[in-house]
Structure 1
Amino acid sequence: MHRTGRGSRPGAPPAGPSTPLATGAARRRVRRWRAVPSTAVLLALTAGCASLSDPARSAVTERTSDDRPVRDGGTLTVALKSEPDKLDPTLAETLVGRTVFAAMCEKLYDIDRSGKIVPQLASALPRTSDGGRTVTITLRRGLRFSDGTQLNARAAAASLMRHRYLPGSARATELAPLKSAVAAGPYTLTLHLAQPYVPLTAVLADRAGMVLSPRAVKKYGKNFSNHPSCVGPFKFVERVTGDRIVLKKDPLYYDADHVHLDEVVFKPIPDGSVRLANLRAGDVQVGDQMDPVDVRSALTEKNLQLFASPSLGYQGIGFNVGNTRGLGQKPGKIDTPIARDPRVREAFELSLDRDVINKVVFQGMYAPACGPVSPKSAIAPAAPGCPGRDLKKAKQLLKEAGVKLPVRLELKVSTSPVDIRFGQVVQAMAKDAGFAVRLAPTEYTTMLQETDAGRYDAYSSGWSGRLDPDGNIASFLGTRGAMNTYGVSDPDIDRLIAEGRATAGEKARARIYADLTRRIRDQHTLIYLYRNNNYVVARRDVAGVKVYDDGLVRVKEAGYAR
């Protein structure tokens, strides 16, 4: 599951009445599975998968863009893995939502195909003074929001302060050091920080750096997500819940000459095989977050092409250890074996085999992982050795913890076939150690709301990732983290997060994040299991699509090949 990452992140804020998310029966769509395949069956599946996955994996090379010339005009339909959450950059959390934003809401900064941060709405990289506590950003001139309002320093300052202080903001932790943002001139933005903040530029290369039309924010207020207005190649037209989000080319966009399409339509299609069938039929032209089994199939199709890049994020399982009152509230106590004793959580982790999960569920096309920092990060600590499956030790830990067997818990997963398959494999492995896992496949947006509210034992948790390691950790595992769905509260983790944010120098920061990774792993609250690749399949007649390490499908320069 990917949250804005929680796109593959764990959860979005509870939808208010104005939020066009699934309602009624769809929101309550929760099923429970108890059938557990044997470990012997899993090992047999593993043997079968190995021979299939190796040729496919060797045929998949990193390819992030298609630079063929395109013609003007036409509509491009992009199939998303799930329904996006709120189309409000302050509140949004999902990866699929970030892909929609990439088409309509530009940021102060962006990343290029090499992963380097580059100016976007800003005209240059930030300048710092006062020991890193004052940051000056110069904006590009002559830019207009989709509603015609001029983008200037006052608009940028207002957006940053909204991202920082709006109740329920998913950006609050990312911008926690920000004390104030002011317009020092028409196009000069000055940020005053409580302390030096090394990750700031990377933070402003994502949703915290999106600038919103002040006119639209004032006019629509809490209903802004139904009328989003930013600076971007396409502007919002309509959203039909569960069916489509429609954007049209914005004639006010400053770089409109490089925008070729008339319209972009985003359609949520959770089942990867259905996304692939729609691609084959031509009903959609681009499929995001394609499952490995569908990637293998697409490689043999002459009318389809594949884009692939490594992920900056992670996927795994998160446990509720203290989320008793919902996001943003002080963590409390949960009296269950899995919540109160890290030995029980460690035993659960030791019941799992990352290599088998990768082969059985993902055709061997992902990479096992056991930490929050992507190897792609410039300050990634030395890769920790992932613990192997150790049933003997797992059973001993449960004995030491004095828990009654089997240890019962519910695991929420989304309703996509691959996520259910993941849950079934985890369920089978955990049974061998003494756990009775009940699967609860849950409609995606409902799962986000329930995990945010703390109504869960464990869930399939993930994040699409950020260039700076802080973006993979602070919001999720800091005591006051804006997306701390787990209820984690650990003074050592909080201290190391603060040190990582304030320390300059790659070697020094790498040491801090190595210590932080060890402390996180000691807690066993978020079990990192694998790091997916970004697989996007498009029809062969589509060109100009870009897919970088952040996993976003960029369609600004996309179109139909000449």
Structure 2
Amino acid sequence: MVEIHRAARLRSLLAAAAVLAVAACVPVQPVEPAPPRADVTGVEIGDRTPARGGDLVMALSAEPDRLDPTTSSSLYTRYVMNAVCEKLYDIDAKGAIVPQLASALPTVSADGLTVTIPVRRGPVFADGTPLDAAAVVTTLQRNLTLEGSSRRAELGPIAEVTARDPETVEVRYETPFSPLTAALADRAGMIMSPKALAEEGEDFGDHPVCVGPFSFVERVPQTSITVRRDPLYYAADQVHLDTITYRIMTDANIRAANLRSGDVQVADSLSPQDVDALAKEDGVGLLQTGSFGYQAITFNVGNVDGTGKPPGPIDTPVAKDPRVREAFALSIDRAALVNSVFNNWYETACSFIAPGTTYSSPASDACPPHDPARAKQLLQEAGVPVPYRITLSTSNNADSLRLAQAIQASVVEGGFEVVIQPVEYSTLLDVQKRGDFEVLQLGWSGRVDPHGNSSSFLSTGAANNYSGYSNPEVDALLKQAAQSNDVATRADLYGKVTEIVQRENPILYLYRVRSITGYTDDVAGVETYDDGVVRLSRAAFL
């Protein structure tokens, strides 16, 4: 009976939060498991004849950060860079790693210390510079040495990178590092023009030059980014559009309205509040797929000088006492949040590994209980005032604010008072890097290998360790996992990391989105995969 009353009270609180977050009342549905939803990863051109040319407009839900593969951390930057900067490897619709600028998958020496990457022959950069092994080495060295690089940890303990010949790159490691290929299927593998790097230096992101179906044209801050078809691209006959304009539209309602009107032909990150109605619209189609990533709450436990720097002490109960963070975790009912805020379109998350994927295990799938009574007990044991007040920084878009207000309501019963601090998305990225927050809600779009979802966020001093977390046992487990090529061994090690993280809660994993992308029915060739990236390089008008 007590649990029934708790559930009813939480639903009432969440309903109130939803009303505060939007102009119209959002009904709270009964808490039920999310229905199974079939992935729709692309709309094929098939036997239809694509039009030659045309200017496609995509509504982009947030302002990308700098268009620099070495330093960027925004999912929305990946959308644009996917059209401009090809990688050594990519993933396909099923999540398998496939060659892109490499001509084949790497080969690894018997001792695991030498990785050989064959480079595709023929491509040239948008400035006419030929792609070769030396250009690949230049990019990888920049990723390893540039101050502020977000790619360094993704590449592992590299001892040396050399061009063995014009078509062969050799990477030598201090210790084996199995996630390299997966890292090179994302920004770490985007190869930049050595000529442009020499000319632009740290300003490369203002005028990025790579090998890609499109080349960068211009950026109007807070408004749009435009790219145009690159005639030098090695597969130019497969590129149909003349230009793509990524127009910044942070309001999900505005994105949906522009999609309905045809003013944009593609729109990313559609709100679950709009999806059911859009699915019934004539002239509009929807792609949807799961995610390797997660949405989470990050507690600042030691980020005093910015990411990549040694952690320091923060003299607050939430930073120094894991009992306070555990109490917050126990106060949250993930299923109720997903159900009420996102109309059951999203899925709960309790670790950095998506259930049912290659490296998932019972330990990584396990979810801490919702237990507000125990939460209050922990706060009392920690000797903090109840309600304990914390400030939650979050993006200022409607869905994020709706979530924040639902969390605010949810944790009251566990003894917390949450003050919401809305921040513009690109500014929030800087806030989390600098450590200028107490508690922060943001997500990670995910990588095919769990190393990309864990090590950079949890290893001491890593580039994306926004919490300033440091645990030698976690460091050792993550290092062991990266050195192993055995799936079962790695899954077990990541499960052990999950158990520690769920005790100490530097990161509190909440849910996984379904990437919901809308398109008008006069375009095809649009794709989105579990890495969260909307792909337009082969899109066309019909």
| Structure 2 length-normalised TM | 0.94
Q: Determine whether 1:432 maps to 2:413.
A: yes
Shift of 1:49: 3.6
One-letter amino acid of the counterpart of residue 41, structure 1: S
8 Å CA contact 1:327–1:482 kept in 2: the answer is yes
Name the counterpart of 1:469: 450
* C-alpha deviation, 1:209, in angstroms: 0.6
Which of 44, 55, 64 is the equivalent residue of 1:67? 44
5 Å matches for 1:32-51?
Answer: 39=10, 41-42=12-13, 48-50=27-29
Contact 1:312 1:376 in 2 (8 A): no
Map of 1:327 onto structure 2: 307
Q: Distance in 2 between matches of 1:51 and 1:438?
A: 27
Change (3 A) 1:345 1:185: same
Per-residue Cα deviation, 1:513-533 (whole angstroms, up to 9, x for no partner): 111111111111111111111
Residues 49 and 435 from structure 1, CA distance in 2 versus in 1: closer, same or farther, beyond 3 angstroms? Answer: closer
> 1: distance between equivalents of 2:301 and 2:114?
38
Contact residue 53 and residue 365 of structure 1 kept, 8 A: no
Q: For residues 11 and 530 of structure 2, what CA distance do their matches in structure 1 show?
A: 36
Output the CA distance in 2 between the equivalents of 1:237 and 1:376. Answer: 41
Q: Give RMSD over aligned pairs.
A: 1.8
Find the counterpart in structure 2 of residue 497 from structure 1: 478
Structure 1 residue 280 and structure 2 residue 257: aligned?
A: no
Q: What whole-Å deviation, never above 9, does each CA across 1:8-29 have from its counterpart, x for those lacking one?
A: xxxxxxxxxxxxxxxxxxxxxx
- The answer for the alignment partner of 2:231 in structure 1 is 251
Letter in 1 for 2:62: S
What secondary structure, in the 3-state scheme, does the structure 2 residue paired with 1:145 have? coil
2:373 is matched with 392
- Answering whether residue 249 of structure 2 is matched by residue 269 of structure 1, we say yes
2-side partners of 1:132 and 1:445: how far apart? 39
CA distance in 1 between counterparts of 2:477 and 2:31 reads: 43
Secondary structure of the structure 1 residue equivalent to 2:403: helix
Give, in whole Å, the separation in 2 of the partners of 1:384 and 1:337: 29
Residue in 2 aligned with 1:213?
Answer: 193
Amino acid at match of 1:528: Y
1:493 offset after TM fit, Å?
0.7
Letter in 1 for 2:242: D
In the TM superposition, residue 176 of structure 1 has moved relative to its aligned partner by 2.9
Please list, as runs of the form range in 1=range in 2, the aligned pairs for 1:135-534 lying within 5 A after superposition: 135-382=115-362, 383-534=364-515
- C-alpha distance in structure 2 between counterparts of 1:407 and 1:489, whole Å: 25
Secondary structure, in 3 states, of the residue corresponding to 1:42?
helix
Tell me, in whole angstroms, the C-alpha distance in 2 between the residues paired with 1:78 and 1:43: 33
Query: 1:229–1:236: 8 Å Cα contact kept in structure 2?
Result: yes
Tell me the secondary structure at the aligned position of residue 365 of structure 2: coil
- TM, length-normalised to structure 1: 0.90
Helix, strand or coil: the match of 1:349?
helix
**CA contact 2:394–2:420 (8 Å) conserved in 1:** yes
Question: Deviations along 1:409-445, whole A, 9 cap, x unmatched?
Answer: 1101101001001000111122222212110000111
Distance 2:223 2:77 in 1: 14
Amino acid at match of 2:165: G
Where structure 2 has 5 or more consecutive residues not aligned to the other structure, the ranges are 1-8, 19-25
Question: Deviation above 6 Å: which 4+ runs of structure 1?
Answer: 51-54
Q: Distance in 2 between the 1:530 and 1:275 partners?
A: 23
What is the one-letter code of the residue matched to 1:124? A
Structure 1 contact 53–363 (Cα < 8 Å) conserved: no
> Shift of residue 221 of structure 1?
0.9
Contact 1:52–1:363, Cα closer than 8 Å, also in 2: no
User: How far did 1:503 drift?
Assistant: 1.1
Displacement of 1:379: 1.7
Q: Which moved more, 1:157-166 or 1:424-433?
A: 424-433
Amino acid in the other structure paired with 2:325? R
Shift in Å, 1:549: 1.1
Q: In structure 2, what residue type is equivalent to 1:426?
A: I
* Aligned mates of 1:78, 1:52 — CA distance in 2: 34
Q: Is the 8 A contact 2:286 2:517 kept in 1?
A: yes
- The answer for the alignment partner of 2:529 in structure 1 is 548
How many residues were matched structurally?
A: 523
The CA deviation string for residues 345-388 of structure 1, in whole angstroms up to 9 with x for no partner, is 01011111111100111001111111111125312222533123
Counterparts of 1:52 and 1:486, CA distance in 2: 31
Q: Any idea what the Cα deviations from partners look like across 1:281-315, whole Å, max 9, x if unmatched?
A: 11111011111112112101011000011100011
Amino acid at match of 2:485: A
